[in-house]
């Protein structure tokens, strides 16, 4: 089954995080600028590496280690990247929806692309850091984070004069599964192409063209995660056309650029690691 673009909701996926852990817990929010919270622990028995793939989002990842706790703000990658992590340590994370995050000191959304920055360098909140890294209670950590975050989020949303334009741009991209050109965005918003490029970079840290490419990739991931090898092989051409690729080879080339593997091999990995059993949505 191929998802219709109109049914597509941004729920950014990092499948290799799930494949590299025995249990990956996910609490879906999809509101107030947050996609979801997650937690995991990489066990000795799991040999798979944790690899980040492009998703257009910002994460805050906390390592809740008694001796050496840390937290990093992680911008979207543009190519697959090995994530530094250690076995038998508990991690808690929050993934923001594209264009959303804490409002950090002295850095822009573009500054975070392909970067990891220590949280306390951009947010002066040791209390938040200590409360989250000192425990391993997933629900409590979510509560602590939301108590700090919601006040800042509400303030920013009421003072962000570009909020409506940001929402129009993101909804237009999602509704078309990334198949919209910059001039079409400009016409829809009633602004010049130059202004749309400028505002998009400020709000998302990426150009509209690059962001659309990432969303099309994420849309492809959603379809593959709900597919199986036999159905995928039968619908390969249909899927490529649905997503706006020139042909199958174009789709495979783009997928390889973002994952270092092919769609077929990716589905095999999902089945081999029993992906759906490891992903626990609460």
Q: What value does the mean pLDDT of the chain take?
A: 89
Share of the chain above pLDDT 70, in %: 94
Residue whose C-alpha is closest to residue 27's, from 73, 76, 94, 85: 94
- Convert the pLDDT of each residue in 120-156 to its tens digit: 999 889 999 999 999 999 999 999 999 999 988 888 8
d(CA 70, CA 65): 8
pLDDT over 90 for what percent of the chain? 63
Q: What is the pLDDT of residue 231?
A: 58
pLDDT tier for residue 10 given thresholds of 50, 70 and 90? low
C-alpha 3/C-alpha 219 separation (Å) is 8
pLDDT above 50 for 3: no
Residue-level pLDDT at 252: 93
CATH architecture, domain defined by 163-274 = Orthogonal Bundle (1.10)
Average the pLDDT over 198-221 and give the result: 93
Residue 98: pLDDT band (50, 70, 90) is: confident
Band (pLDDT 50/70/90 cuts) for residue 9 is low
Lowest-confidence region among 95-104, 256-265, 266-275: 95-104
Over residues 17-31, the pLDDT tens digits come to 999 998 999 999 999
pTM equals 0.91
Q: Residue 73: phi, psi to the nearest 5?
A: -90, 120
Per-residue pLDDT tens for 111-127?
999 999 999 999 889 99
First to last CA, the chain: 25
Map residue 33 onto helix, strand or coil: coil
> Would you state the pLDDT for residue 152?
85
Q: Are 266 and 272 in contact (CB under 8 A)?
A: no
Give pLDDT, residue 99: 81
**C-alpha pair distances (Å), 79 with each of 51, 55, 129, 210, 275:** 10, 10, 29, 12, 22
pLDDT band at 157 (very low <50, low <70, confident <90, very high): confident
Report pLDDT digits (tens) over 175-185.
Answer: 888 889 999 99
Flag whether pLDDT at 5 surpasses 60: no
The reported pLDDT for the residue numbered 233 is: 63
Q: What's the pLDDT score for residue 211? A: 95
Domain residue extents for the chain: 10-159, 163-274
**Which residue has better confidence, 76 or 48?**
76
Lowest mean pLDDT among 4-18, 106-120, 264-278: 4-18
Q: What is the pLDDT of residue 244?
A: 83
Query: Predicted confidence band at 230 (pLDDT cuts at 50, 70, 90)?
Result: low
CB 59 within 8 A of CB 94: yes
């Amino acid at each position: 089954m191929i998802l219709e673009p109109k049914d597509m909701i941004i729920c950014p996926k990092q499948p290799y995080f799930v494949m590299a852990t025995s249990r990956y817990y996910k609490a879906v929010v999809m509101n107030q600028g947050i996609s979801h919270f997650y937690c995991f622990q990489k066990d000795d028995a799991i040999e798979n590496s944790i690899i980040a793939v492009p998703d257009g989002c910002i994460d805050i990842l906390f390592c809740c280690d008694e001796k050496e706790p840390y937290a990093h703000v992680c911008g979207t990658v543009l190519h697959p990247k090995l994530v530094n992590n250690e076995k038998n340590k508990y991690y808690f994370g929050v993934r923001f929806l594209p264009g959303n995050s804490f409002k950090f000191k002295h850095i822009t959304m573009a500054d975070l692309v392909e970067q990891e920055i220590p949280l306390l360098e951009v947010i002066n909140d040791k209390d938040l850091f200590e409360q989250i890294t000192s425990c391993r209670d997933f629900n409590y950590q979510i509560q602590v984070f939301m108590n700090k975050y919601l006040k800042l989020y509400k303030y920013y949303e009421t003072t962000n004069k570009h909020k409506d334009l940001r929402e129009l741009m993101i909804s237009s991209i999602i509704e078309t599964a990334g198949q919209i050109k910059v001039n079409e965005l400009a016409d829809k918003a009633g602004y010049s192409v130059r202004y749309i490029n400028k505002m998009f970079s400020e709000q998302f840290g990426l150009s509209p063209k690059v962001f659309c490419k990432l969303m099309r990739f994420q849309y492809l991931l959603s379809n593959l995660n709900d597919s199986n090898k036999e159905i995928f092989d039968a619908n390969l051409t249909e899927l490529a056309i649905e997503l706006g690729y020139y042909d199958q080879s174009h789709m495979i080339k783009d997928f390889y650029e973002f994952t270092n593997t092919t769609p077929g091999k990716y589905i095999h990995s999902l089945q081999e690691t029993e992906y759906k059993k490891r992903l626990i949505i609460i």
